[in-house]
């Protein structure tokens, strides 16, 4: 597992959805707990909100998928299954900015 990989996780109350791994390489590769973002498992049928980003087949997903960047889940990495893809480098910055905005970090 590496940062920005996309796996499947059974989100509490939401079921199985794509999960984008966040964190440093050390955290993701060596620690038992990881942080992820929830992505919709249905095709995006609306434009993304300010704290969302659309991932798609370029990232390894089957269709345009909303990635929700305003809440970070923490879970044991052993609960992740089925690698689905990897967020492309150009999109990582956009997701990071939305996480900062969505969590109100740095007063943004």
| Pairwise CA distance, residues 86 & 55, whole Å | 10
Is 5-107 in CATH node 3.40.47.10?
no
Q: How far is the C-alpha of 53 from the C-alpha of 16, rounded, in Å?
A: 19
Alpha carbons 3 and 102: distance in angstroms, whole number: 19
The tens place of each residue's pLDDT in the chain, 108 residues long, gives 999 999 999 999 999 999 999 999 999 999 999 999 999 988 888 899 999 999 999 999 999 999 999 999 999 999 999 999 999 999 999 999 999 999 998 775
Question: Diameter of the chain by CA atoms?
Answer: 37
In Å, how far are 12, 29, 32, 96 from 78, measured between CA atoms? 16, 12, 8, 24
Domain boundaries, the chain: 5-107
| Tokens, residue 81 | 């299954």
């Amino acid at each position: 597992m590496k940062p920005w990989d996309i796996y499947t996780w059974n989100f509490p109350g939401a079921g199985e959805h794509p999960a984008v791994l966040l964190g440093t390489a050390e955290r993701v590769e060596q620690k038992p707990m990881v942080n992820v973002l929830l992505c919709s498992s249905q095709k995006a049928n609306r434009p993304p909100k300010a704290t969302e980003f659309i991932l798609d087949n370029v990232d390894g997903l089957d269709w345009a998928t909303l990635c929700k960047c305003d809440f970070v889940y923490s879970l044991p990495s052993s609960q992740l299954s089925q690698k689905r893809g990897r967020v492309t480098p150009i999109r990582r910055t956009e997701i990071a900015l939305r996480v900062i905005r969505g969590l109100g970090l740095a007063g943004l």
